[in-house]
Amino acid sequence: MDLFNNTHRKIEKICNEGNTLADKGKFIIAREKFLSALDMIPSPKYNQSESVWIYTAIGDVSYLAGNYEDAYIHLNEAIKCQDGLGNPFILLRLGECFYEMGDIIAPPIKQCVFPQRISCVLC
């Protein structure tokens, strides 16, 4: 728990509401909940451990709603966070996004998605 306890509790409460909505198939409303939780995290967001699971949740509900480009964008943000790069769920969802967008290999990379501190084999 990197954020102050009170803020962390508020973020958890909002994310739990988002998870409940997602479980009911209300993906768009759940996405809005997760975005509001993300707004509570101070910059740089990548340095906060909560960011990886919030970005992942946004990517997941976007994927489930059929918005594969939005899912791809947020899952790439999750990779940049602490513990995001090796997360198998994030990598699975990214692969599913590539497939659903009609590009099984990968969409064209215009800019490296990895922070400069990580060595990237694609760059």
Residue 32 token pair: 């809005």
pLDDT at residue 94 tops 70 = yes
pLDDT at residue 120 tops 50 = no
How far is 76 from 113, CA to CA, in rounded Å? 6
Residue 73 token pair: 């964008």
How far is 120 from 117, CA to CA, in rounded Å? 9
Q: Which residue has the tokens 């994927």?
A: 63
How far is 58 from 39, CA to CA, in rounded Å? 12
How far is 88 from 70, CA to CA, in rounded Å? 19
The predicted structure's pLDDT at residue 114: 52
* Chain segment 13-29, per-residue pLDDT in tens: 999 999 999 999 999 99
Query: How many Cβ atoms are within 10 Å of 47's Cβ, its own excluded?
Result: 12
Q: What is the pTM of this model?
A: 0.81
pLDDT at residue 105 tops 90 = no
Report the mean per-residue pLDDT for the chain: 85
Residue 25 token pair: 């198939």
Domain 5-100 coded CATH 1.10.287.620:
no
The predicted structure's pLDDT at residue 48: 87
* Chain segment 75-86, per-residue pLDDT in tens: 999 999 988 888
Range 37-53 average pLDDT: 91
The predicted structure's pLDDT at residue 11: 94
The predicted structure's pLDDT at residue 90: 95
